[in-house]
């Protein structure tokens, strides 16, 4: 018997694995459930030791889904490639490999509450079967009995003229088509989720008007280069694990209130629009925001007080945690008291006078003043579940981020924009925020680079913009008569409790960065 061609067997394994993965992506999209490939990644994360997770968040911050998807995909394809030659020699290897593939897929898929065992079975099992069929067929085409030895050109037996060459071509054509088809299946899966025309739906929404709500324009200081008081929707930072923005059909969408409540119920988008009574300026921030970073924004959110929604459901004793679930399976969790302590925790349906943009959670999201987004701000909200703090850890908790995460006081220098300014009057300006504690004072320190900053105790108090709520940021500005030279500019804010932000530098993980933002600028002679 001739030797099998290892490379062809490997390619067969690779193509078969691709087909299986592509089919799971397509079927999951058709079923409207999360990607099983990502579920497998999630299961791996859940079982990964803390230190590895800690290291990974340094690299990935609060967006790991593309990483999970690529890692699991590459690992599966590599495994297919590696197992191909073994399956070529012993068909049982291929059978076992795809049985295991299907089994892992079903189990991992079922860990996601949005998939469950039923859907998971009907996605992973057909995918595994199809992968196995493709493997068998390709291995058959690659079987050397039918092919001439590649090392002896022209040795084709007269009894089967050209048949080996034809089969090799057929092999390559089929393997290529299978891999290509798998990629097409995976991508069309991604696009299926974008069928709903969200822009059309948004245009049709009529948001209620709330008495006395702040106008989204013309608030705050007007300094060239300073972030506007209200961040326009188009400029608002975006952070989520969604590979494709979920397109939710607001006409069939329901928000479920479940868990430890007397009376679980559902709300439609129209119900929420009827119940909306607050419109408030709230600053939200990402926990992965570095000192001086731009993962923070201030918008006027319109919505329904969370307390009102909970009251109607009747929160049971011991329900210490509120879990917000997204249509894409993402979850947050925060203490129930945060919804009831008087801050404007809400189910938001409007952002700066418009329905929520698709990227920011249309049709509804959670906004909880004073908490970082990853524990509170579920976009594309689908379920609010009451549970106990010890009974559920939301998406980012097993990934090494803190369970409770109030926003830390931070300040940022926006102006001067670049690192060069001309001597004379120059504004130094920026923003400062302090969760729900409000910003009371912002100070700036200007130290020539050749002097000791610690010795310089001259902090200049900045002029502050008005503050729409205690949960909104404030802009600040200091007029600086800059003399030629090189300087360090530093800023620090003091919150409404009189606590000044710490100088101690710390990384975003696990519960938010600290430290004073510092910039180095060179002042040049006017006309130089």
Ligand X SMILES: Nc1nc2c(c(=O)[nH]1)N[C@H]1C(S)=C(S)[C@@H](COP(=O)(O)O)O[C@H]1N2
The nearest distance, CB 196 to ligand X, in angstroms, is 16
Nearer residue to Mo ion within complex by CB, 201 or 289: 289
The nearest distance, CB 238 to ligand X, in angstroms, is 4
Q: How far is CA 132 from CA 87, 352, 489, in A?
A: 10, 52, 63
Structure tokens that stand for 57 in this block:
């968040």
What does 330 interact with, of Mo ion, ligand X, none (CB < 5 to 8 A by kind)? ligand X
Residues 469-508, interacting with ligand X (CB under 6 A): none
Structure tokens that stand for 431 in this block:
């923003």
Residues 361-390, interacting with Mo ion (CB under 5 A): 373-374
Q: Is 67 in the site for ligand X (CB under 6 A)?
A: no
What does 298 interact with, of ligand X, Mo ion, none (CB < 5 to 8 A by kind)? none
Is 422 in a helix, a strand, or coil?
strand
Per-residue binder mask for Mo ion (CB under 5 A), 401-440, x = binder:
----------------------------------------
Q: Is 459 in the site for ligand X (CB under 6 A)?
A: no
The nearest distance, CB 266 to ligand X, in angstroms, is 19
Number of residues that bind ligand X (CB under 6 A): 19
Q: Is 299 in the site for Mo ion (CB under 5 A)?
A: no
Residues 221-240, interacting with ligand X (CB under 6 A): 236-240
Instruction: Provide the 10 A C-beta neighbour count for residue 478.
Output: 21
Q: Is 326 in the site for ligand X (CB under 6 A)?
A: yes
Q: Are strands 420-422 and 517-524 parallel, antiparallel or unpaired?
A: parallel
The nearest distance, CB 407 to ligand X, in angstroms, is 10
In this structure, what DSSP letter does residue 315 have?
B
Candidate list 378, 382, 387, 410; residue touching ligand X; CB under 6 A: 378
Residues 354-373, interacting with ligand X (CB under 6 A): 360, 373
Question: Are the CB atoms for 487 and 446 separated by under 8 Å?
Answer: yes
What is the number of helices (H) and of strands (E) in the chain? 12, 19
Q: Taking the mean position of all CA atoms in its chain, how far away is CA 305? A: 25
Q: Is 334 in the site for ligand X (CB under 6 A)?
A: no
**Rg of the chain's alpha carbons, rounded to an integer?**
29
DSSP string of 343-371, one letter each residue = S--EEEEEETTEEPPGGGTTT-EEE-TTB
**Distance of alpha carbon 45 from alpha carbon 54, whole angstroms:** 11
Q: How far is CA 367 from CA 95, 302, 348, 377, in A?
A: 49, 10, 6, 5
Candidate list 175, 239, 338, 415; residue touching Mo ion; CB under 5 A: 239
Nearer residue to ligand X within complex by CB, 22 or 361: 361
The nearest distance, CB 375 to ligand X, in angstroms, is 8
Stretch that binds ligand X, among 167-175, 304-312, 325-333, 438-446 (CB under 6 A): 325-333
Return the exposure string of 294-324: e unless at least 16 CB atoms fall within 10 Å of the residue's CB, then b.
ebbbbbbbbbbbbbebbeebebeeebbbbbb
Question: Are the CB atoms for 415 and 430 separated by under 8 Å?
Answer: yes
Candidate list 328, 383, 495, 511; residue touching ligand X; CB under 6 A: 328
Phi, psi for 159 (deg, rounded to 5): -70, -25
The nearest distance, CB 360 to ligand X, in angstroms, is 4
Measured over all CA atoms, what is the biggest interatomic distance in the chain, rounded to whole angstroms? 97
Nearer residue to ligand X within complex by CB, 37 or 147: 37
Contacting positions for ligand X (CB under 6 A): 62, 236-242, 286, 326, 328, 330, 360, 373-374, 377-380
Contacting positions for Mo ion (CB under 5 A): 62, 239, 286, 373-374
């Amino acid at each position: 018997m001739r030797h099998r061609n290892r490379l062809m067997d490997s390619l067969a394994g690779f193509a078969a694995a691709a087909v299986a993965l592509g089919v799971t992506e397509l079927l999951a999209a058709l079923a409207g459930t999360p990607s099983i490939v990502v579920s497998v990644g999630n299961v791996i994360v859940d079982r990964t030791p803390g230190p590895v997770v800690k290291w990974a968040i340094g690299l990935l911050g609060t967006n790991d889904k593309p990483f999970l998807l690529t890692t699991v995909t590459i690992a599966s394809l590599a495994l297919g490639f590696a197992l191909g030659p073994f399956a070529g020699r012993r068909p049982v290897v291929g059978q076992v490999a795809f049985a295991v593939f299907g089994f892992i897929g079903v189990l991992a898929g079922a860990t996601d509450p949005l998939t469950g065992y039923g859907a998971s079975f009907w996605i992973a099992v057909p995918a595994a079967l199809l992968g196995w069929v493709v493997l068998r067929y390709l291995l058959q085409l690659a079987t050397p009995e039918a092919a001439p030895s590649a090392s002896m050109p022209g040795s084709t037996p007269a009894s089967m003229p050209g048949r080996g060459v034809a089969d090799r071509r057929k092999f390559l054509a089929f393997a290529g088509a299978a891999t290509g088809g798998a990629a097409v299946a995976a991508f069309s899966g991604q696009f299926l989720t974008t069928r709903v025309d969200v822009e059309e739906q948004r245009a049709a929404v009529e948001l209620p008007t709330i008495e006395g709500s702040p106008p989204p324009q013309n608030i705050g200081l007007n300094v060239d280069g300073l972030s506007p008081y209200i961040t326009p929707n188009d400029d608002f930072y975006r952070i989520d694990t969604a590979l494709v923005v979920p397109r939710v059909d607001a006409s069939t969408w329901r928000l479920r209130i479940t868990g430890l409540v007397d009376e679980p119920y559902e709300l439609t988008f129209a119900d929420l629009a009827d119940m909306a009574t607050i419109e408030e300026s709230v600053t939200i921030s990402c926990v992965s925001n570095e000192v001086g970073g731009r993962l923070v924004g201030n918008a006027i959110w319109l919505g329904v007080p969370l307390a009102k929604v909970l009251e109607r459901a009747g929160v049971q004793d011991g329900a210490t945690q509120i879990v917000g679930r997204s249509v894409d399976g993402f979850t947050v969790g925060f203490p129930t008291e945060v919804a009831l302590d008087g801050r404007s925790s809400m189910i938001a349906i409007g952002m700066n006078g418009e329905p929520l943009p698709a990227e920011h959670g249309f049709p509804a999201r959670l906004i909880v003043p004073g908490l970082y987004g990853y524990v509170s701000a579920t976009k594309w909200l689908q379920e609010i579940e009451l549970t106990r703090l010890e009974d559920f850890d939301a998406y980012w908790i097993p990934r090494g981020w803190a369970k409770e995460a109030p926003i830390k006081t931070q300040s940022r220098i926006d102006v001067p924009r670049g690192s060069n300014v001309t001597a004379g009057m120059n504004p130094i300006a920026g923003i400062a925020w302090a969760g729900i504690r409000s910003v009371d004072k912002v100070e700036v320190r200007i130290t020539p680079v050749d002097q000791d900053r610690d010795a310089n105790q001259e902090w200049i108090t900045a002029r502050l913009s008005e503050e729409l709520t205690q949960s909104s940021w404030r802009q600040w500005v200091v007029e600086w008569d800059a003399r030629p030279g090189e300087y360090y500019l530093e800023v620090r804010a003091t919150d409404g409790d009189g606590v000044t932000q710490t100088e101690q530098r710390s990384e975003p993980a696990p519960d938010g960065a600290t430290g004073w933002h510092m910039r180095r600028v060179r002042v040049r002679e006017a006309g130089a």
